[in-house]
Amino acid sequence: MTKLLEWVFGVSVIGAAWALVTFDLLNLRLPEAYKEVAWPMPVYLLVVFGCYSLATVGYRVATFNDCEEASKELQDQIKEAKEDLRRKGLKM
Amino acid sequence: MGLVGFSLLLFTYYTIWVIILPFVDSDHVVHQYFLPREYSVILPGIAALILLLCVGTFIGVVTRKNRKPKVD
């Protein structure tokens, strides 16, 4: 089974379970509170995923280390390239 | 770090709104800090639409700015 089929299958199972609870398709007569929790679930999961992405990005940007050596190496390479091009006649 | 704090705040508020409030008695005082439940779906929907609008506008502006005269 391909990955796409696996995902489609999983999503449709979860979607069926959600529809069953939200629209009361089997006439299970669940307590009203459960229906109230279930119907915003797709939007809720999207919002939670968005929050998690934001938090991950924010955290990794905040804890990104300065790379001293790489910076110095880059500056040297820039100087070298400029020298080389100047020698070959490119006006800077 | 502000981004982390903001997303934690948003997550907590939204989780309480969607998952915890239905199990709280309707005459508890905490309900006055939350809008009616319909808004818990409408507001993220509007936010998603605005996001799509911003992304589309940005792409449109950048595309138009970089349009070269017809090359043949």
Shared domain for A49 and A85, answered yes or no, is yes
pTM: 0.70
Contacts across the A-B interface (CB distance below 8 Å): 63
Shared domain for A76 and A52, answered yes or no, is yes
Shared domain for A1 and A46, answered yes or no, is no
Q: pLDDT tens digits for A13-54?
A: 999 988 888 887 777 777 777 888 888 888 999 999 999 999
- Name every chain A residue with its beta carbon within 8 A of the beta carbon of B6: 54, 58
Q: Which of A44-53, B29-38, B42-51 has the lowest mean pLDDT?
A: B29-38
Query: Which residue type occupies A57?
Result: V
B40, A42 Cβ separation under 8 angstroms: no
Shared domain for A20 and A54, answered yes or no, is no
What are the Cα distances from residue B61, in Å, to B31, B49, B55, B58, B64?
Answer: 44, 18, 10, 5, 5
Shared domain for A72 and A43, answered yes or no, is yes
Range of the domain at A11: 1-30
Inspect the interface and report whether the beta carbons of B37 and A36 lie closer than 8 Å.
Answer: yes
Inspect the interface and report whether the beta carbons of A40 and B40 lie closer than 8 Å.
Answer: yes
The structural domain count of chain A equals: 2
**Nearest-5° angle of CA A41, CA A46, CA B4?**
125
| CA gap A83, A88 in Å, rounded | 9
Shared domain for A39 and A51, answered yes or no, is yes
Shared domain for A44 and A84, answered yes or no, is yes
